Chains A and B, each alone.
Chain A
Amino acid sequence: MIHFEEEQFVQAYYGEVDENTRRHLQECAACGAEFARLRDLLDSVRDYPVPERESSYGSDVWARLAPCLGPQAPPPKLRPAWFRWWILAPALAAFVVVVFVAGIVTGERRTGISARSRERVLLMAMSDHFDRSQILLTELVHANPGSSGLMAQREKARELLTENRLLRQSAVHMGDVSDADLLDALDRVLLDFANGSSTSPPDNLAALQQRIDNDALLFKVRISGADAREKGQKL
């Protein structure tokens, strides 16, 4: 009697069997026993639990999701130009990054700062950069191609671009290929957007939105930001 191959047992477990197979499993003791072992194991794996979610979970998801589906972020409040966060925060972050890069360059000559501390500073700067990039990308993907010139956002993109390049350089130096690749992709989008003008055709913005969407850039930036923050906090 010819016994079954392992693949046939798997198919049988998932109900992909014909009458001959079923009969064979009943009549052949060896195959029957082998099938029973597989069935027990797969049945046990089925019990792998998933954390419970309340019945209101769908409403909670909607509450988080709904603001992201809106077309525009609220207009900024009128404050003195120097006091706006997107001017202060990038300046501060750029300063941290410059200090960090300078630390790497001169690091071998110094003994005061540990590699761990340097990595922590980089991770926190990276996390902050990804957070602000995420806000800008969100504004971009929700912008109406036919609307105004998005001057404030273009200004933000220019500021992020400088910082982005410093961080990319640091990531390459640290051998962090994953973040370097992401920062590279981000660089291209920021550059294209920053160099656009208020008179650019709406198609340009639509193409940029499509590119962000196709590359899942917003998602990757969000995940990488959270990862960098978590790793930085652990150090």
Chain B
Amino acid sequence: MEWTDAVAADEARKGNQYAFRVLVERHSRSIFRLAFRMTGNEQDAEDLVQETFLRAYKQLTQFDARSGFSTWLYRICSNCALDLIRARKRRNEQQPYSGDQFPLHWLDRVASPGPSPERLTQSKQITGQVEAALQRLSETERLAFVLRHYEGCDIEEIAATLGVQANAAKHSVFRAVQKLRRALEPAWGVAAR
């Protein structure tokens, strides 16, 4: 039997745990990437991966095979991420934002063989600035931008994930790009070119 996503999802729905395992092993890395880009934090991303698959397992009966399994998983992961970010935001309202709070520690573990120390420092600087700029977006803007820019989703998919009309999704992407430009262009006039 060829374990396409649709076949595996159908088998998993019937209680076949091996089929669900196939799906978990196939999609874990892409879900981790999305989760990390949404949160900017490795541990949070790990938690989101776990939560996404748990919710997917419980909601398998609601999966409509006409939409792709990965799109469906993205939607679940996005909702988990929104829950997490909103909870964090409420919590952080008690601790005013400081520009030094961005977690750069994980950058040391990003594989990057070869570059000179200067290039590495510059790269870390740029990544830190991107992360800082992404953190300043609203959660919907960030999600819309991540899905559009990194995951290559089209506007309809983003709208479905956010639960909004296509125009609103398009506007969220635009607002995100606009804010990123305002935040990054002044700094990158020197650093990135």
Contacts and interface: CB of A to CB of B under 8 A. Distances in A.
Contacts of B106: 51
Interface string B31-56: 01100110000110001011101100
Given A45-B149, A219-B51, A178 B21 contact: no
Contact of A49 (B17, B26, B112, B148): B112
Interface stretch (A53-61, A77-85, A105-113, A145-153): A53-61
B6 interface: no
B20 A50 contact: no
A40 B193 contact: yes
B192 A219 contact: no
A44 B83 contact: no
Contact of A64 (B50, B111, B173, B177): B50
Given A10-B174, A45-B149, A222-B47, A216 B24 contact: no
A48 B125 CA distance: 11
B47 A65 contact: no
Q: Interface majority SS on A: helix, strand, loop or mixed? A: helix
Given A65-B50, A65-B53, A220-B87, A44 B24 contact: no
Given A50-B36, A220-B87, A45 B184 contact: yes
Given A51-B110, A57-B28, A177 B184 contact: no
B138 to A, nearest CB: 17
A41 B94 contact: no
A46 B21 CA distance: 31
Given A50-B33, A58-B29, A38 B181 contact: yes
A184 B29 CA distance: 36
Contact of B192 (A44, A65, A216): A44
A66 B18 CA distance: 10
Given A58-B24, A58-B25, A41 B185 contact: yes
B16 to A, nearest CB: 12
Contacts of B25: 58-59, 61-62
Given A50-B33, A51-B110, A224-B87, A45 B130 contact: yes
Interface residues of A, number: 45
A53 B32 contact: yes
A46 B83 contact: no
Contacts of B178: 6, 10
Interface in A17-57: 37-38, 40-42, 44-53, 57
A16 B177 CA distance: 15
Nearest to B37: A50
A209 to B, nearest CB: 9
17 contacts: A13-B177, A14-B173, A41-B188, A41-B192, A44-B188, A50-B32, A50-B33, A51-B109, A51-B110, A57-B28, A61-B25, A61-B53, A62-B21, A62-B25, A65-B54, A69-B20, A177-B90
- A-B residue pairs, 4 tightest by C-beta: A58-B25, A58-B28, A61-B28, A178-B90
Interface of A: 6-7, 10-11, 13-14, 16, 37-38, 40-42, 44-53, 57-59, 61-62, 64-66, 68-69, 175-178, 213, 216, 219-220, 222-224, 226-227
